[in-house]
Each structure stands twice: as C-alpha cells, then as structure tokens.
A and B are shown apart, each in its own frame.
Chain A
C-alpha cells in the first residue's frame, strides 16, 4: 500500500522582551537560579498579573507578517495542570479567543512553492525549569524562566513530508527573527517545535491517529525524528497493529522516537477565562501604527529582487531567506555596480559554503560586502579569472587585505597579453602532439584538454577567452 504522512507543527517562539509577560522581572538568559523570579513568577498568594505591552506588540507584528486577522478582543485563560515548575498550578494562555487568527506562510521545497495555513497564534507564559540532578532525592526548581512571554504558533496539518515540515519550521524561524520578535536561539530554547505526525493510505481524506514529537530544538533532529516516526507508524500498521495517540520524545543518540510513559489519566486542562486578566483590546488604529513600522517582509523583498535586480525566483528566495543575507546582497550589489546575478552567485556559492563550513553567521563574515564587490570588479574587468578569484577570496577570508592588494602581492593578475599567451600555447602544442592529433581526427574533447594544459602552464593566469581563441587559430 502507498502511504501518505500528514504533519502539523506547534511552535513556541520566545518573545524578545526585557521583562516577563505578566511582571517586571527580567528575562535575560543565564542568570543565577531564581534571581529573576519575582513574587509573580513564584506565585506568592495575592499577586496579580499585568500584561506586558511589548509582548502584545510582538504578537501583532507576527499576525501582520502572516497576513492573519488580529482579534480586536482576545481573552486569557487558565490551563490547569500540576507540575512543580508551574507554581500557580495553571499556565496563563489563550484558548477560545487567541490574539492572532488564521494566516499562512509560503514555503519553498525544491523547485516548487507551497502555502502552509496557520491556524492561530496565541500569547502565553513559559514554565520554570526542573533540575533532576540528585539533591538528596529531591528535584531542584529554577523559576527564572517562569513567566517568560511565548507566542505559540499552530499550523494546520498541511505538510506531507519531513522536508516540507523542516522548510516550514525554517521559514518561520527566519520570519520571527526578520520582524525582530524572537532571537531564534534554538540552543537556549528560544524557538522550540512540537511536531504532530500521522500516516494514512494515500488518497484517503481521513486523518490517521497522530503522535506528537515534543521539544525538537534543531532542524536536523526534526528531520530525523519525523523520518523515523513515519517509518515506525507505517511498519506498525502494516504489521496489523494500531497507533495509540501519544507524546513521544526523540533520542538523538539512537535516532529513535519513544513514547513517554503515558499518564494514568488523560490530560484535562479545564480551561476557563482567567478572572485576574481583563479582555485584551486591540484597536485598528494600533494595528495600522504597527503596520507602518514593519520592515519589508521577505515575500515582498523577494518579488522586488526579481523585479529590480532581474534575479531568478530561486536566487531571490534563497537570498531573502534571512535578513542578514538580504542586507549583505544589497550592500555588495550597490558597491559592485555590475551584474547583480554575479553577486548572487558568489553569495549563494562560495560565501555560503564557507560560512557553513565554519559555522558562522553572515553578520560575522570576514569578507565584507565591500570586499566582495572589489573582487567582483576585478573579475568583470578581466583582471582575474573566476578560478583565480576563488584564491583571492580565500586570502580575503583569512584577512590578507582587499582584492586589489592580494592580486598585487601574489602576482595573480590575468595574462591578457596575446604574445605571452601565444608563446605558452606553442609550447603546449609542441609537448602534446598526441592530443593535437586526436583533435584533428575529430575528437572535440581533446580541445578542452589542451585548454586545460595551457591554463595549467600559465598557473591559471591566462585569460581563458583568449586561450580559446588563440588555440582555435593555431589548430585551424
């Protein structure tokens, strides 16, 4: 039987605020335990929550970025459960009336685009942290994180492969950073994904029973976890078994997903409106103000790059996948003044590969946009070939100066002097009589071999176009 996997994501983005969602305690990462846990964070009796203006601002920005309806009136609710890192015995969240309604996000998988619907996004508070090391058989509780503002973003089950799910998560990850509402730091838990996975016979429109993979904090693990989980569900069903709804954890060591010990009783959160908080009202004036202050969004910028710079859709999409990349591209293109496509090629090729290799963010690139532009100018005016340019790029990367200085000091200037090239060509022809004969007997490939020999003899510095021309003349 042919199977189809159905995937939906719930993502928690920690909002970039100075203080907690309902109190004036700091949210700075890495403080000593409980030094940022105020009376509201630890739930002393009699304290009251007061909503953070900036958290609301972040939620509205997100709603606008995914083209969603912003609720004019939304309500906070209590989600009741017991766990020691949740000292109130309930989490303040939003249930029936979330601040952000239906929206969507367009992802790119391979050559095709796909729109993923977003069901809702709501504001809520984070819980504290349990430390399960041995404290004489007890558990330690750090409430610094308790009350940190989160935006929970819920997608529709619109994804049909691990690759689509990862593309959606990456797109969302870039978007929240782009609009400046989340720092996107996955190691520190600022961006966490829960993935719902189910399988069904291909062609069926009924959803299978889902299992939820909790707390994935890297895209690589997400891919592995979904692939393993999908295989496991299909095998289980093919062996005549059934899938039980469950929460599972991914073990990066084994690459497997494993069901958490199921609780004796299903969770029943008994949501109800929180009487400590009044309804949140958002006016259309406020929404227009926020709209005015929003940066150009990736989708709009992508369309503009195609229009303004004549970039292919794929290039425009790749370059606008992060704000850092887009900014770099704009600066380098302006400084270069030539063909934007050449900038795009270098950005997506050599530079991206190098950043990837060294695990650097583009903001930390040792080669600045100006430096790259300087290099491209020398390619364009024929001073150096593409091949030599890579060498110059590597030297710029290790801080040996700008392109002109490196070309000068290393003597990398392309040889365009016809006389000098002719001399090399003559030497190569004399030393490779067999190849010449092959070419003359009709083997076109031998020509490329001769070009290669000339380039080699010139240490890569001969102007390739001229080499071609002169060779053709000599062999005619």
Chain B
C-alpha cells in the first residue's frame, strides 16, 4: 500500500494537526516506513491464531455501581480558560 501526501494531509486534518507541505513530505516518508513494516508482518501466517486486543492476557476488572466521586467543579474549573454559570466555555460551534 502506498500513501500520497493527500492521504497524509487528510489524516492530519482528521486528527486536527496542522501540517505544512514540507512536513507532509517527511511524514509521508515516515508513515510509509511504518506501513512497510506492517506489510512485512502480514506475510507471517497467522491462520488459527486469535487476534489480540490487548498486550496483557488479562480480562477487565469491574467496578461496583456506587457513587465515589464528589463535586469538584470549582477545583477543575480553576484551570479552565473560560467558564460561566458552571459551564466550560469554548469557541462557538454550531453544526
């Protein structure tokens, strides 16, 4: 699979990363290298092996459904750039 600079720019846009033409070029090289590595790994025969979704062979621990958090709004909002009436304020978004 080969990437183009357009792919790189699209991926950067989806991740909201601003990227210039030069940087897109160098990133293209790096990403292509990673994809090459994956291609090599895909040559390994994995028939009959269950895909792994986590590096540790453990299962999820569950938590009892009991409220343990208290209201710390003032503390959390003390480091927010803008708040009003208990709300966090962000640049206007309308979809």
Using a CB–CB distance below 8 Å, which chain A residues touch chain B? 17-19, 23-26, 32-39, 42, 44, 50-56, 73, 75, 80, 82-84, 97, 130-132, 135, 137-143, 260-261, 265, 268, 270, 273, 275, 277-281
Contacts and interface: CB of A to CB of B under 8 A. Distances in A.
Given A19-B67, A281-B60, A33 B54 contact: no
Contacts of A275: 54-55
Interface string B1-13: 0000000001001
B18 interface: no
Given A33-B87, A135-B87, A19 B92 contact: no
A35 B62 CA distance: 24
Contacts of A56: 62
Given A38-B72, A138-B82, A54 B65 contact: yes
B72 to A, nearest CB: 7
Given A37-B76, A83-B93, A278-B54, A25 B67 contact: yes
A140 B93 CA distance: 10
B37 interface: no
B45 interface: no
Query: Chain B: interface secondary structure?
Result: loop
Contacts of B72: 38-39
Contacts of B10: 265
A279 B92 contact: no
Contacts of A140: 84-85, 87-89
B88 to A, nearest CB: 4
A261 B88 CA distance: 26
B87 A24 contact: no
A83 B94 CA distance: 10
Given A34-B88, A140-B87, A268-B14, A53 B62 contact: yes
Given A52-B63, A130-B93, A37 B73 contact: yes
B60 A279 contact: yes
A34 B65 contact: no
Given A84-B93, A138-B90, A142-B87, A265 B66 contact: no
A135 B84 contact: yes
Contact of B71 (A17, A36, A142): A36
Interface residues of B, number: 39
B54 A279 contact: yes
Contacts of A50: 61-63
A320 B65 CA distance: 31
23 contacts: A18-B65, A19-B67, A23-B69, A35-B86, A36-B69, A37-B76, A38-B72, A39-B72, A42-B76, A42-B88, A53-B62, A73-B59, A80-B15, A131-B87, A132-B94, A139-B89, A139-B91, A140-B89, A275-B54, A275-B55, A278-B60, A280-B59, A281-B59
B85 A24 contact: no
B56 interface: yes
Contacts of B16: 82
Contact of B67 (A24, A83, A260, A268): A24
B95 interface: yes
Nearest to B51: A96
Given A24-B67, A265-B10, A273 B54 contact: yes
A23 B65 CA distance: 9
Contact of A139 (B14, B65, B90): B90
Contacts of B67: 18-19, 24-26
A413 to B, nearest CB: 57
B58 interface: yes
Nearest to A282: B59
A152 to B, nearest CB: 19
Contacts of A137: 92
A140 B77 CA distance: 13
B9 to A, nearest CB: 11
Contacts of B73: 34-35, 37
B69 A25 contact: yes
Given A80-B14, A275-B54, A278-B58, A138 B65 contact: no
A278 B59 contact: yes
A130 B67 CA distance: 25
B53 interface: yes
Contacts of B13: 265
Nearest to A84: B90
Nearest to B75: A39
B78 interface: no
